[in-house]
């Protein structure tokens, strides 16, 4: 299905509290929204790139440029119409590889013939542009949303979600004091969150974790995220986290140090989870083969979209590696499909699936609410949510840009 136009819209939402990681402190969320219009429907996607190239090489202004100059013009090469989506929609020839590189016997279904979804077909078109997975993910998601809406199919049904609700987990940033951290964790537990993730960095690690364990006990599912702030020379120090029975330590070393992670895995008891290095199903295979990870965090923007995210989910399921869904401080446009992804069968660990009020006083969609420790999976067509026009206009910065052909 060839779109008739694409809109690029910048939005800025203030955060309810500053969010500090080892990369820096965020006070507001700047995001790029992509709207695809087709003859039958429109769809939305969110680009999760940050304003500065800190989490990854991509950054917000760069994604606008690559979308405008390269990716969006490629959509003109799509056929004007395509058949209805297959139930699964993922091409059999490009399914997830097993650890040994052979096709994985993961139980996923594939369409009987060539995939007819334009959102699937654009992967081959986008291959001509190296990198830029966040820009590609936003455009592919918007196109997928439009096509699923046209077919009256939910993203949950398309991806194969196994649950109608998912447990809510929250990421807690680095605080000015341990007392402030304990107060924040208490609020989130009172709100019903079923798992706590603490951001850590050198100088803010063992003592904050110890304080949380002493205050709230061993029954609270707890994990930490270093965002690559340590080196293998810190292995002895990171081993001091072992007595606290953490679910995992996420990305302790730099993203390009797979061998270091494999070495660290042999020197500490806490399971290692990789984030930034997992950019594709093949990258997940490499990490598993090297023994660099026993858990994987899937961030759809980082891997190029929800179709590749599904492949990563499948290859991990085939080899007994649990996955969970990470967050990038998304608005409701990005939060909705993340919640859907977290409902897949092998997402057995609680992800960064929080309510809208964790970050925003007013989201640009109807808010996602934590009830009984869980959040409902969107069930409507496509990603299952629409922006609130008033909230969207209030958050929009600058003039939305339309690209038509």
CATH of residue 136: 3.30.390.10
**Which of 123, 197, 199, 240 is an active site residue?**
199
Top-confidence range, 17-21, 84-88, 96-100, 283-287:
283-287
**Which of 130, 197, 240, 299 is an active site residue?**
299
Residues 178 and 292 in one domain: yes
Residues 204 and 170 in one domain: yes
Residues 6+ apart with CB under 8 A from 157: 87
Parallel/antiparallel/unpaired status of strands 272-274 and 249-250:
parallel
Is the distance from CB of 304 to CB of 130 less than 8 angstroms?
no
Question: What is the dihedral angle through the alpha carbons of 254, 259, 263, 269, rounded to the nearest 10 degrees?
Answer: 60
Domain contains 252 = yes
Residue 98: the pLDDT is: 40
Whether residue 112 is predicted with pLDDT greater than 80 in this model: the reply is: no
Residue 119: the pLDDT is: 83
Residues 205 and 341 in one domain: yes
Residue 89: the pLDDT is: 44
pLDDT, mean of residues 166-176: 97
pTM as predicted: 0.91
Residues 78 and 183 in one domain: no
Residue 206: the pLDDT is: 98
Residue 82: the pLDDT is: 52
Domain contains 382 = no
Residues, the chain: 405
Residues 164 and 250 in one domain: yes
Residue 322: the pLDDT is: 97
pLDDT, mean of residues 111-126: 68
- At 109, the pLDDT band (50, 70, 90 cuts) reads very low
Residues 36 and 85 in one domain: yes
CATH of residue 226's domain is 3.20.20.120
253 is in which domain, residue-wise? 159-376
Is the distance from CB of 331 to CB of 362 less than 8 angstroms?
no
Measuring CA to CA, which residue among 237, 317, 300 is closest to residue 249?
A: 237
Domain count, the chain: 2
R_g of the chain, CA atoms, integer Å = 20
Residues 316 and 207 in one domain: yes
Domain contains 381 = no
Residues 116 and 236 in one domain: no
Residue 107: the pLDDT is: 37
Residues 219 and 132 in one domain: no
Q: Is 123 a catalytic residue?
A: no
Helix intervals (H) in 295-341:
300-303, 306-318, 332-341
Give the rounded distance of the alpha carbon of 156 from its chain centre. Answer: 15
pLDDT, mean of residues 80-93: 46
Whether residue 273 is predicted with pLDDT greater than 50 in this model: the reply is: yes
Whether residue 106 is predicted with pLDDT greater than 80 in this model: the reply is: no
pLDDT per position as a tens digit, 283-318: 999 999 999 999 999 999 999 999 999 999 999 999
Domain contains 383 = no
CA dist., res. 399 & res. 124, Å (int): 31
Three-class secondary structure of residue 345 per DSSP: coil
DSSP annotation of 350 reads -
Residues 322 and 342 in one domain: yes
Is the distance from CB of 32 to CB of 9 less than 8 angstroms?
yes
Measuring CA to CA, which residue among 83, 30, 38 is closest to residue 60?
A: 30
Domain contains 18 = yes
Q: Is 240 a catalytic residue?
A: no
Residues 44 and 137 in one domain: yes
**Euclidean distance between the first and final Cα of the chain, in Å?**
14
Residues 79 and 181 in one domain: no
pLDDT, mean of residues 224-235: 97
């Amino acid at each position: 299905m060839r779109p008739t136009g694409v809109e690029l819209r910048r939005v800025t939402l203030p955060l309810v509290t500053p969010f500090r990681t080892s990369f820096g402190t965020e006070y507001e969320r700047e995001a790029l929204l992509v709207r695809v219009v087709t003859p039958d429907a429109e769809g939305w996607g969110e680009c999760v790139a940050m304003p500065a190239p800190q989490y990854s090489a991509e950054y917000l202004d760069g994604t606008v440029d690559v979308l405008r100059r390269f990716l969006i013009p490629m959509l003109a090469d799509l056929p004007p119409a395509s058949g209805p989506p297959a139930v699964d929609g993922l091409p059999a020839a490009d399914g997830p590889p097993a650890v040994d590189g052979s096709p994985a016997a993961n139980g996923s279904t594939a369409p009987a013939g060539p995939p007819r979804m334009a959102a699937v077909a654009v992967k081959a078109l986008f291959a001509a542009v190296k990198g830029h997975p966040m820009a590609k993910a936003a455009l592919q998601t918007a196109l997928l949303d439009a096509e699923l809406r046209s077919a009256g199919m939910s993203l949950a049904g398309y991806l194969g979600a196994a649950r109608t609700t998912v447990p809510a987990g929250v990421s807690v940033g680095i605080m000015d004091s341990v007392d402030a951290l304990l107060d924040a964790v208490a609020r989130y537990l009172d709100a019903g969150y079923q798992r706590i993730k603490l951001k850590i960095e050198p100088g803010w690690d063992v003592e904050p974790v110890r304080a949380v364990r002493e205050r709230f006990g061993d029954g609270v599912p707890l994990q930490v995220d270093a965002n690559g702030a340590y080196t293998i020379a810190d292995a002895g120090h990171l081993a001091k986290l072992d007595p606290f029975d953490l679910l995992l330590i996420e990305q302790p070393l730099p993203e390009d140090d797979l061998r270091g992670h494999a070495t660290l895995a042999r020197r500490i008891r806490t399971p290692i989870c990789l984030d930034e290095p997992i950019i594709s199903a093949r990258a997940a295979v490499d990490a598993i083969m090297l023994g660099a990870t026993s858990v994987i965090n899937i961030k759809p923007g980082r891997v190029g979209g929800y179709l590749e995210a599904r492949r990563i989910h499948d290859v991990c399921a085939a080899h007994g590696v649990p996955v969970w869904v990470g967050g990038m401080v998304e608005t409701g446009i990005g939060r909705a499909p993340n919640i859907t992804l977290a409902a897949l069968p092998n997402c057995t660990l609680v992800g960064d699936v929080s309510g809208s009020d964790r970050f925003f006083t007013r989201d640009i969609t109807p808010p996602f609410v934590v009830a009984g420790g869980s959040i409902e999976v969107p069930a409507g067509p496509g990603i299952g949510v629409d922006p609130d026009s008033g909230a969207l206009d209030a958050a929009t910065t600058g003039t939305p840009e339309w690209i038509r052909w």
